Amino acid sequence: MRYKLFCSPKTLAAALLLVTGCVAPSKQVPAQQIPSLKDAFKNDFLIGTALNVAHIQERDQKAAVLIPKQFNAATPENIMKAEHIHPEWGRYDFDMPDKLVEYGKKNNISINAHTLIWHSQMPAFARRMQSVDSFRTFFNEHIKTVAGRYKGKVQSWDVVNEALNEDGTMRRSPFLQKLGPDFVTEAFRLAAAADPQAQLYYNDYNNEQPAKRAGCIALIKKVQDAGVKIDGVGIQGHWHVGRVPFQHIEESIEQYAALGIKVAFTELDIEVLPRNFQGADVNQRMQDNPGLNPYKDGLPDSVQQQLAKDYQQLFELFLKHKDKISRVTFWGVTDGDSWLNGWPVRGRTNYPLLFDRNYEPKPAFYKVVATKRK
Alpha helix ranges (H) inside 258-357 = 301-320
Q: Looking at residue 131, what is its pLDDT?
A: 98
**Cis, peptide link before residue 334, omega less than 30° from 0:** no
Q: How far apart are CA 216 and CA 241, in angstroms?
A: 25
Average pLDDT over residues 274-278: 72
Catalytic residues: 162, 267
β-strand 325-330 against 73-76: which pairing, if any? unpaired
Report the predicted TM-score, pTM, of the whole model to 2 decimal places.
0.91
Facing residues of 235 across strands? 204, 265
The fold for domain 34-373 equals: TIM Barrel (3.20.20)
Alpha helix ranges (H) inside the chain = 2-6, 12-20, 37-40, 53-56, 61-70, 82-85, 95-107, 124-128, 132-149, 174-179, 183-194, 210-225, 246-257, 301-320, 363-370
149-197 confidence digits (pLDDT tens)? 999 999 999 999 999 999 999 999 999 999 999 999 999 999 999 999 9
Q: Looking at residue 2, what is its pLDDT?
A: 30
Give yes or no for residue 13 having a pLDDT over 50: no
| Residues 4, 371 contacting (CB under 8 angstroms) | no
> What does pLDDT average to over the chain?
91
Give yes or no for residue 18 having a pLDDT over 90: no
Q: Looking at residue 293, what is its pLDDT?
A: 87
Give yes or no for residue 374 having a pLDDT over 70: no
CA nearest 163: which of 118, 197, 206? 118
Q: Looking at residue 282, what is its pLDDT?
A: 67
Give yes or no for residue 27 having a pLDDT over 80: no
Average pLDDT over residues 322-332: 98
Q: How far apart are CA 176 and CA 258, in angstroms?
A: 27
Give yes or no for residue 17 having a pLDDT over 70: no
74-97 confidence digits (pLDDT tens)? 999 999 999 999 999 999 999 999
Give yes or no for residue 206 having a pLDDT over 80: yes
Domain residue ranges in the chain: 1-30, 34-373
Please tell me the least confidently modeled range out of 158-162, 204-208, 287-291.
287-291
